[in-house]
Amino acid sequence: MTVQTRTQTEQTALSARQVAWRVTRLNLRAQLDYRAEFLIMIAIGAIWQVSIIVFATVLLGRFSGMGDWPSDAVLMIAAMRMLSHGLFVLFFGRVSYLSQLVQEGQVDGYLLRPMPVHRQVQLAFFPTNAIGDLLVGASMFVGAVVTVQLRWTALHVVYVAAAVLGGMLVEAAIHTALSAFHLHYPGAAAWTHWVQELLETFGNYPLKILPGLFEGLFTFVLPLAFVAYLPAAVLTGHTHGLLVPWSVAAAAPLLGLAFYLLSRLLWNAGLSRYTGVNG
């Protein structure tokens, strides 16, 4: 690649980022025009996450641990998953609404614009509820870090940061793969809600408390284990009885990136065969 070509590529990438940032600012400004609704959406995100905290607190208050995991380690699983989920909603969450965008015919319009369709989907609106998700998730994460019986080192800090980002990418990969299906069958949107309920119901606890069949499904079919369970197991040293080797569990953040890249390939393949809202 020549210097001139490299410079043009860098300028194009910079221009794309500037456009994305400008659209995001406009979307946020549009949300702020309706202050009451803006605050309500933040509250909705926060209340849902608080309900998970209350349930986990009551459960752990009655039992000393779950599946040979002490309460502080279980809390770390929930905190990591909730923080990863908040980041997912902020940066990737609009892909969950793809079936609605297809039914409304907006994707057809996206195909006519000089911007990648996936990026346009992510810029469709500003996810106000993500603010509430992140406020609660970050608060719980700080509490878990303070509570967990772990002697924190620089390596631990780097790993937990990578694990949270990897968990975000695993959730993004799951929903991106589902949205590739929605490009052709938008009526199957209930699948997204069902999968999200599974993530929120079982993603906060050690999967070894489940029957072996379900633990296997949440590890090898729907990779829920890679969001927070496996990284938290490595972080806290509770790797006995995992269905994958220690090295695979430790590599969960990198596997999250791999899952997401594969889901984008699937999404692009689905988009290449997209024929419009009317088929």
User: How confident is the model over 67-105, as pLDDT tens digits?
Assistant: 788 888 888 999 999 999 999 999 999 998 888 888 888
Same domain, 94 and 221: yes
Residues 93 and 14 in one domain: no
Same domain, 24 and 40: no
Q: What is the pTM of this model?
A: 0.88
176 close to 201: Cβ distance less than 8 angstroms = no
244-271 pLDDT, tens digit per residue, is 999 999 999 999 999 999 999 999 999 9
Residue 173 CA to residue 191 CA, distance in Å, equals 15
* 278 in a structural domain: no
Same domain? For 19 and 44 the reply is: no
Residue found under tokens 């297809």: 102
pLDDT value for 60: 59
| Same domain, residue pair 55 and 23 | no
Helix (H, G, I), strand (E, B) or coil at 69: strand
Number of structural domains the chain divides into = 2
Asked if the model's pLDDT at residue 3 lies above 70, the reply is no
Residues 216 and 47 sit within 8 Å (Cβ to Cβ): no
* Domain match, 12 and 103 both: no
**Gap between the Cα atoms of 199 and 222, Å rounded:** 9
Domain identity same for 141 and 187 = yes
Residue 72 CA to residue 63 CA, distance in Å, equals 12
Quick one: pLDDT band at residue 63, thresholds 50, 70, 90? low
Average pLDDT over residues 53-67: 65
| pLDDT tens profile 6-31 | 554 545 555 777 888 888 888 888 88
Share of the chain above pLDDT 90, in %: 41
User: Does 98 lie in the same domain as 26?
Assistant: no
Q: Which of 4-13, 56-65, 186-195, 220-229 has the lowest mean pLDDT?
A: 4-13
Residue in the block written with tokens 């791999």: 258
The widest CA-to-CA distance across the chain, in whole angstroms, is 66
Letter string b/e over residues 119-146, b meaning 16 or more CB atoms within 10 A of that residue's CB: ebbbbbebbbbbbbbbbbbebbbeebbe
Are 26 and 141 found together in one domain? no
Do 153 and 266 sit in the same domain of this protein?
A: yes
In a domain, 174, yes or no: yes
3-state secondary structure of 231: helix
Q: Tell me the C-alpha distance between 133 and 168, whole Å.
A: 13
Is 128 contained in some domain?
Answer: yes
Q: How much is the average pLDDT of 225-240?
A: 95
Distance CA 206, CA 224 (A): 11
> Which range in 119-123, 199-203, 256-260, 270-274 is most confidently predicted, on average pLDDT?
256-260
Q: Which residues form the domain of 72?
A: 34-272
Alpha-helical runs (H) found in the chain: 3-32, 35-62, 71-91, 98-103, 106-110, 117-122, 129-147, 154-182, 190-202, 212-216, 229-236, 246-250, 252-272
CA 225-81-168 angle, 5° bins: 85
Residue of 212 and 246 predicted with greater confidence: 246
Q: What is the pLDDT of residue 14?
A: 54
